[in-house]
């Protein structure tokens, strides 16, 4: 399950205005709804009320009306609630979602979408169930309920939906809600949604049919596959369905249709450009889309991408209408590319006409504000107004217009088969398209995924006072105002002497404004254009070694002051502040600024790349591996020494303060940890 469960702390002046939340549990009998609630309550400090129809009548089964009454009373008292009913259909959930309007609360859904066979097995075997649903009759009831199941969608009125399809997913959800204090909130959106393979679904339905027989339940002979689990046959790359919340660009093949560019040459350029950019788009994904099942360009690109071993979770092909990817194919793309004409006007047929038509007049109006025309090889990003149907129905937030070369003599600026020029322009067009998308991804990362060491609201305020925030440049638009802080310090450290502790020709050293341990400094590269780890190649080995050696020097100075400290040097795979920077951080993590799961996991999961490993990998392979999957941010909290699990940050911190276990073997190897009495020189 890929989720981003960063708990967001309200600003101090918002404390009195905090609101309770309503969590609607959704799942068949036997999916573990009551156990889920019990497990949350064991670790939670937030005041929760369980609204369970099986027990609401003085310990006996009651009515939906009684559940609504208890929910209303609890919300008036400022308590958050779990709705513990099956809630498998839209109709069953509707009245509880209406609480949002009456009490101005956020409505969450936790979907315990576990295998049908498991739910039936649990239901049949259990005894003493509150609702007396157990034994032989349970199988038939679960069977009937699952046939009617309608998975929730945001447009029902939910603020947040979290899908759990394995026991590990369930535990992650328990950890997420168990860690919420009275004032915490969670990011909105859909997390953990996955498409189930058609064959698996048919196997489930066959299993359900078999359990009908001994229960003597009459049912239709024809069992249809549940529509809410439909897997679109048009997806070319199975198993790579993007999730809501994952930045995804869907783009058509540029110039091969109306502009009649050679398909073979175009496929080479697509694959080569994707290969170049796939490491520069953070956790984003690229999807080449064509409406035809027999598309030659999709076939060529798919085979060539496989030969180059391009990660199929970062780039794949898809058959579908680019204006209906979510509703028509279940593919969630927040950005789509338009094969535009130079006037940036509707019409002309093909993709351009379809996108302008689907987006309505809002797109043309927004485009005019951005640009009046477009040159071949260029692209321009247009934020889509929320009033546009493409935004409201398909979830598209941006359209990137891109213009390729023309080989059609009936169209303007025909190159008359000059493929030397044409290939150059097409490569520029895809590069410009992907760079525009990368900028969108970076902007979204800055707003929703503040780097763990620099993400508090108060920090933003301090940074704004620490640097000049009114400077205007194109890069700032990509990274956000506070995200430019390190870049500005690196480029002009003389202007920030109050915060900088060392200035060298190649690096700048400063204390982290919000340290996550007793000692936490940043060593920042002064090379322009080296924004983050994704930009690093073999030519940057000298600066990587310099950064490492400077970091070691400072760690050694700290060890002279406090011999009990242990240091680790490394990079975040996907930082939220511009300019490559190395974290030098003591492993005590004794800091009031370490507040949530994302803070911890950003330094104690594969997301954190050790400096020595980065240098070795770049030296041997040319580029570092980026472990930027957001699943690392939602991993359970484990001690960095003994690896024991803990339900929340306060308990983890209490344990760390007394844990004397040795560090894991992998950290004790290859000089990943820096401590007293080293075995050898630390310079690399």
* Distance from C-alpha of 549 to C-alpha of 527, rounded to nearest angstrom: 17
DSSP calls for 300-347: HHHHHHHHTT--TTTEEEEES-TTSHHHHH----SEEEEE--TT--S-
* pLDDT, average across residues 551-563: 94
- Alpha carbon of 341 to those of 262, 327, 348, 417: distances in Å? 19, 27, 8, 19
Whether residue 646 is predicted with pLDDT greater than 60 in this model: the reply is yes
21-46 residue pLDDT tens:
999 999 998 899 989 998 898 888 88
Which pLDDT value is given to residue 412?
A: 81
Are 653 and 307 in contact, with CB atoms under 8 Å apart? no
Which pLDDT value is given to residue 136?
A: 59
- From the list 581, 583, 593, 599, the catalytic residue is 581
Which pLDDT value is given to residue 121?
A: 83
Judged on CB neighbours under 10 Å (0-12, 13-18, 19+), 666 is exposed
Are 566 and 586 in contact, with CB atoms under 8 Å apart? yes
Q: Which range, of 135-149, 174-188, 239-253, 552-566, averages the lowest pLDDT? A: 239-253
388-407 residue pLDDT tens:
999 988 889 999 999 999 99
Whether residue 372 is predicted with pLDDT greater than 90 in this model: the reply is no
Closest CA to 298 of 309, 287, 308: 287
**Residue positions counted in the chain:** 684
Whether residue 560 is predicted with pLDDT greater than 50 in this model: the reply is yes
Whether residue 544 is predicted with pLDDT greater than 50 in this model: the reply is yes
* Distance from C-alpha of 302 to C-alpha of 280, rounded to nearest angstrom: 20
436-469 residue pLDDT tens:
999 888 876 655 444 444 444 444 444 434 333 3
Residues near 252 by beta carbon (within 8 Å), at least 6 away in sequence: 288, 289, 290, 322, 337, 339, 351
Whether residue 220 is predicted with pLDDT greater than 60 in this model: the reply is no
Q: Which range, of 103-117, 135-149, 639-653, averages the lowest pLDDT? A: 135-149
Which pLDDT value is given to residue 211?
A: 39
- pTM of the full structure: 0.38
Which pLDDT value is given to residue 312?
A: 87
* pLDDT, average across residues 360-378: 90
Residues near 303 by beta carbon (within 8 Å), at least 6 away in sequence: none
Residues near 392 by beta carbon (within 8 Å), at least 6 away in sequence: 386
How many CB atoms lie under 10 A from the CB of residue 113? 25
* pLDDT, average across residues 647-652: 93
Q: What is the CA radius of gyration of the chain?
A: 27
Whether residue 200 is predicted with pLDDT greater than 50 in this model: the reply is no
How many CB atoms lie under 10 A from the CB of residue 170? 23
* 254, β-bridge pairs: none
Look up residue 512 and give its two tokens: 């982290």
Would you call 279 a catalytic residue per the annotation?
no
Which pLDDT value is given to residue 449?
A: 44
323-368 residue pLDDT tens:
998 887 778 899 999 999 988 999 777 899 999 999 999 999 999 8
Closest CA to 323 of 291, 366, 297, 368: 291
DSSP calls for 157-224: T-SEEEEE-SHHHHHHHHHHHHT--TT-B---EEES--PPPHHHHHHHHHHHHHHHHHHT----S--P
Q: Hey, what domains does the chain have and what are their CATH numbers? A: 12-229 (3.40.50.300), 248-446 (3.40.220), 452-674 (3.30.428.10)
* pLDDT, average across residues 653-677: 90
Whether residue 224 is predicted with pLDDT greater than 60 in this model: the reply is no
50-97 residue pLDDT tens:
999 888 887 788 899 999 999 999 999 999 999 999 999 999 999 999
pLDDT > 70: percent of the chain: 81
């Amino acid at each position: 399950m890929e989720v981003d469960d960063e708990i967001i702390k309200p600003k101090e002046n918002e404390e009195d205005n905090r609101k309770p939340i309503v969590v609607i549990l959704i799942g068949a009998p036997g999916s573990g709804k009551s156990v889920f609630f019990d497990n949350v309550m064991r670790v939670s400090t937030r005041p929760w009320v369980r609204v369970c129809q099986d027990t609401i009548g003085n310990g006996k089964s009651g009515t939906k009306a009684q559940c609504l009454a208890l929910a209303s009373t609890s919300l008036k008292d400022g308590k958050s609630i779990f709705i513990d009913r099956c809630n498998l259909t839209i109709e069953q959930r509707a009245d509880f979602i209406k609480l949002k309007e009456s009490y101005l609360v956020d409505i969450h859904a936790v979907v315990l979408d576990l295998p049908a066979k498991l739910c039936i097995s649990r239901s049949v075997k259990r005894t003493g169930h509150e609702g007396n649903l157990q034994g032989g009759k349970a199988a038939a009831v679960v069977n009937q309920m699952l046939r009617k199941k309608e998975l929730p969608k945001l447009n029902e009125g939910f603020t947040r939906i979290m899908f759990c399809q394995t026991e590990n997913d369930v535990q992650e959800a328990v950890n997420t809600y168990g860690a919420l204090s009275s004032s915490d909130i969670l990011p909105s959106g859909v997390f953990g949604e996955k498409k189930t393979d058609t064959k698996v679904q048919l196997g489930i339905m066959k299993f359900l049919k078999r359990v009908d027989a001994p229960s003597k339940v009459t049912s239709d002979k024809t069992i249809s596959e549940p529509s809410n689990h439909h897997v679109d046959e048009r997806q070319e790359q199975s198993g790579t369905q993007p999730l809501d919340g994952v930045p995804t660009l869907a783009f058509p093949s540029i110039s091969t249709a109306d502009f009649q560019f050679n398909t073979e040459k175009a496929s080479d350029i697509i694959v080569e450009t994707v290969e170049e950019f796939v490491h520069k788009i953070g956790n984003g994904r690229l999807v080449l889309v064509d409406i035809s099942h027999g598309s030659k360009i999709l076939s060529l690109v798919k085979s060539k991408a496989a030969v180059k071993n391009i990660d199929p979770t970062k780039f794949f092909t898809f058959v579908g209408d680019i204006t209906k990817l979510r509703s028509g194919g279940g593919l969630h793309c927040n950005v789509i590319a338009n094969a535009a004409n130079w006037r940036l006007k509707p019409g002309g047929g093909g993709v351009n006409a379809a996108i302008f038509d689907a987006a309505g007049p809002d797109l043309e109006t927004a485009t005019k504000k951005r640009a009046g025309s477009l040159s071949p090889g260029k692209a321009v990003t247009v934020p889509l107004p929320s009033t546009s149907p493409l935004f409201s129905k398909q979830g598209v937030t941006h359209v990137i217009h891109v213009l390729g070369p023309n080989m059609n003599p009936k169209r303007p600026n025909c190159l008359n088969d000059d493929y030397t020029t044409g290939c150059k322009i097409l490569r520029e067009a895809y590069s410009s398209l992907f760079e525009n998308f990368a900028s969108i991804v970076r902007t979204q990362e800055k707003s929703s995924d503040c780097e763990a060491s620099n993400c508090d609201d108060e920090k933003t305020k301090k940074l704004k006072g620490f640097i000049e925030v009114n400077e205007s440049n194109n890069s700032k638009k990509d990274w956000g105002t506070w995200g430019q802080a390190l870049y500005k310090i690196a480029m002009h450290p003389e202007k920030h002497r109050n915060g900088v502790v060392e200035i060298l020709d190649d690096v700048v050293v400063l204390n982290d404004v919000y340290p996550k341990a007793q000692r936490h400094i940043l060593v920042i590269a002064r090379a322009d254009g080296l924004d983050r780890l994704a930009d690093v190649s073999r030519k940057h080995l000298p600066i990587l070694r310099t950064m490492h050696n400077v970091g070691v020097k400072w760690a050694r100075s700290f060890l002279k002051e406090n011999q009990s400290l242990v240091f680790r040097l490394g990079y975040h795979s996907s930082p939220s502040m511009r300019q490559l920077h190395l974290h030098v951080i003591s492993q005590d993590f004794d800091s009031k600024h370490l507040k949530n799961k994302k803070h911890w996991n950003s330094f104690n999961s594969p997301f954190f790349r050790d400096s020595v490993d980065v240098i070795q990998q770049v030296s041997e392979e040319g580029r570092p591996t980026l472990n930027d999957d957001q699943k690392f941010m939602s991993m359970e909290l484990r001690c960095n020494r003994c690896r024991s699990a803990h339900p929340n940050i306060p308990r983890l911190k209490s344990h760390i303060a007394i844990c004397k276990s040795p560090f894991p073997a992998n950290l004790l190897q290859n000089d990943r940890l820096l401590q007293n009495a080293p075995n050898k020189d630390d310079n690399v």
